Homo-oligomer: A and B are copies of this chain.
Amino acid sequence: MNSTGRPATLADVAKRAGVSVATASFVLSGRGGARSSGSPETKAKVRGAAEELGYVPNRNARSLRTGRSGGIVLALGTVEDPWGLSLAGAVRDRALPEDLSTLILGDERWFEFLSGSAFDCSFVTSVDVTPEGPEQVRHLARGQGGIVAFSERIQPERFDVISSSAQPAVHAAYRRLRARHDSVAFMTGRAIDPERRPYYPSRAHAFLDAASEAGDAPGDDLVHASGTDRQQSFEYSQRWLEGPDRPTAVICSTGYLALALQVAAMHAGISVPDDLEIISIGDVPSDAQMLGPISYYGVQDVFARMADIIVGRALDREGSPGRLHRFDWEFFPGGTTVDGADGA
């Protein structure tokens, strides 16, 4: 490994090996290990020179030329959400053997960032939170890399779409708990904000629909906004459980809320599931659970399936016209409900 000056270029390697740039390129990047790559002797010389110089191909130049970058980028909107991290882990595990790097975009300006780049595949989650989301995705699809969009309101075109609505799950959870309780409450992080409302019905909306569909009263007071961080949720849960309108059945809009509620119940001496049943919409990462599994609605093998789609797109050069992948939610019974594994 040479230790002076700027990084070695292919031309440097070629010169040192006494061959032309083209040959060097052929040996190093073309099917080097496989068939028909050059005379064994030349190969050795080139390889040796590259090694000595610590040569490493400039990815910008290569991408510029080929239109591919050897990378997958996950535009998750936010980095704080553990859901995205689980996905990232699954993608990484599948991408690594294919020699694809996995990157997470940490900010929310996915459109600006992705427009300029040429990744093998870009995955976009926050299509549905702005009005222009779908249009932007279509625009990106004109570029070179593959696109996978996580959305409930866009049709596949030259990109794949993963559609995974929690709405049926919320309805099912409501029916399931309502069958055993006079009243079912809903716990969410942030109150419904009519201003910055996403362009699809939120889980809280689904809950309200489910309640009125079941013939229950307006139910606005059944929606509890507990705050976004865990301490807030925990303290809210404590007050709630020790207050006058203590619930006996709660649907939590995320796994972490369910976790906070579960711990608060233990703290308050309330027995779960006997005196309080909890269902989470979306699973709780197993390594975050402390008091045993929480009953939840979720998608079987979500991360593995999504990772397959994303990596598949990345590997698919010039391909498929775009598929719609619809994910269905099922009930996974845990220790926070009384029921066994029978369906909704």
- Closest B residue to A267 by beta carbon equals B266
Q: Is the CB of B92 within 8 A of A85?
A: no
Surface stretch bound by B, among A113-121, A178-186, A190-198: A113-121
CB distance from A257 to the nearest CB of B (A): 12
Surface stretch bound by B, among A97-105, A147-155, A336-344: A97-105
CB distance from A59 to the nearest CB of B (A): 4
- Enumerate chain B residues within 8 angstroms of A266, measured Cβ to Cβ: 266-267
Q: Which chain A residues in 120-144 approach chain B with CB under 8 Å?
A: 135, 138-139, 142-144
Q: Is the CB of A59 within 8 A of B116?
A: yes
Q: Is the CB of B116 within 8 A of A107?
A: no
Q: Scoring A residues 138 to 176 as 1 if CB is less than 8 Å from chain B, else 0, what string do you get? A: 110011100000000000000000000000000000000
Copies in the complex: 2
Q: Is the CB of B58 within 8 A of A116?
A: yes
- Enumerate chain B residues within 8 angstroms of A101, measured Cβ to Cβ: 105-107, 109, 113
- Enumerate chain B residues within 8 angstroms of A223, measured Cβ to Cβ: none
Cβ of A19 within 8 Å of any chain B Cβ, yes or no, is no
In the bound assembly, the distance between CA atoms of A175 and B74 in angstroms comes to 45
Which of A60, A69, A144, A288 has its CB near the most chain B CB atoms (within 10 A)? A60
User: Are A142 and B103 also in contact (CB < 8 A) when A59-B117, A116-B58, A290-B231 are?
Assistant: no
Cβ of A80 within 8 Å of any chain B Cβ, yes or no, is yes
Cβ of A3 within 8 Å of any chain B Cβ, yes or no, is yes
* Given pairs A60-B64, A103-B106, A231-B287, 4 additional interface contacts (CB within 8 A): A59-B118, A79-B92, A231-B290, A234-B291
Closest 8 CB pairs of A and B: A59-B116, A229-B287, A102-B106, A56-B115, A234-B290, A104-B104, A60-B64, A60-B63
Give 10 pairs: A residue, B residue, CB < 8 Å, sorted on A: A3-B139, A54-B139, A56-B112, A61-B64, A74-B106, A79-B88, A79-B92, A88-B106, A103-B106, A104-B106
